[in-house]
Structure 1
Amino acid sequence: MALRPTPALLRSAVLLAAAALALPSCFTDRQNEGQKLYANHCASCHGDQGQGLRRLIPPVAGADYLTKYRADLPCLIRRGQQGPIVVNGVHYNQVMPGHEDLTDSQITNLLNYVQSAWGNKGEKYTIREVSELLDRCQGSDGQ
């Protein structure tokens, strides 16, 4: 005796198959987003390999600043930086523009890319953590 699928079972199977096919595309646009954001917003100053520019612009590759000031980085990206900083023992004093156009989620992805690129081994951020840190500078957009 063969079992016949019911219309409800067939409908569920079709919906499940459609969801399985659609699921990868949900993430495709966000795949490598941090790397793309870095290339579009940061690489022109900090270098395509995070190397910085001599004594003018600090590196992000191998930068001690990433761990020392981890909690400040979301606001630094959102609001920018002005005034002297020290990275790997080198003094810098250039203006870094803020990126008000980036969402909390994009800042998270950007930071996570920088935390893991070029040999960096920084702790990853969550979107919730970035949003909470951005609240300190009234910079969270909740997205």
Structure 2
Amino acid sequence: MNRALLVGAAGAALLLNLTGCFTERQNEGAQLYATHCASCHGDQGQGLQRLIPPVAGVDFMAQRRADLPCIIRKGLKGPLVVNGISYNQVMPGHEDLTDSQITNLLNFLHTNWGNQNQPYTIREASELLGRCNGSDGQ
């Protein structure tokens, strides 16, 4: 009986540690956006008039889903159209973010500010990052 109690206590402790781990990362996408994206795309994803495209309520995320992980990792240069408006500025890449951070950032963007897109899995984001030699396996 003591052994069962010990195993149960160990299981509960492990569960609490895992829950803490996930809780700490729960708002990671929002935090990453605030740190890496908001200065250009706006604190509510509104963009900057015709200079920098919005990320709130945009068609671009659904249309270019397979490209987004690499756009975040490597950046983007050249013309693009978002919600029917043309933009042509340079977006810097974020080589310092891990695959899981890019996944969390994209999932934040995909589910906020009127965007209702399917979330990414880490596996999907890593596979897509592999297309641009951008996956770090983390």
The two structures have a TM-score, normalised by structure 2, of 0.95
- Cα deviations by residue, 1:89-132 (Å, 9 ceiling, x for unpaired): 11111100000000000000000000001011011111111111
Aligned to 1:80: 75
Shift of 1:28: 1.9
Structure 2 residue runs without a partner (length 5+): none
Q: Distance in 1 between matches of 2:127 and 2:96?
A: 18
Q: Which amino acid aligns with 2:64?
A: Y
Aligned to 2:130: 135
Does residue 66 of structure 1 match 2:47? no
Q: For 1:29, which of 24, 28, 31 is the aligned residue?
A: 24
Q: Which amino acid aligns with 1:35?
A: A
Does residue 44 of structure 1 match 2:39? yes
Q: Distance in 2 between matches of 1:98 and 1:32?
A: 22
Shift of 1:29: 1.6
Shift of 1:63: 1.1
Q: Distance in 2 between matches of 1:137 and 1:19?
A: 37
> Percent identity over the alignment?
67
Q: How many positions carry a matched residue from both structures?
A: 138
Structure 1 residue runs without a partner (length 5+): none
Mark the structure with the bigger radius of gyration.
1
Task: Report which stretch shifted further, 82-91 or 10-19.
Answer: 10-19
Q: Distance in 1 between matches of 2:117 and 2:12?
A: 38
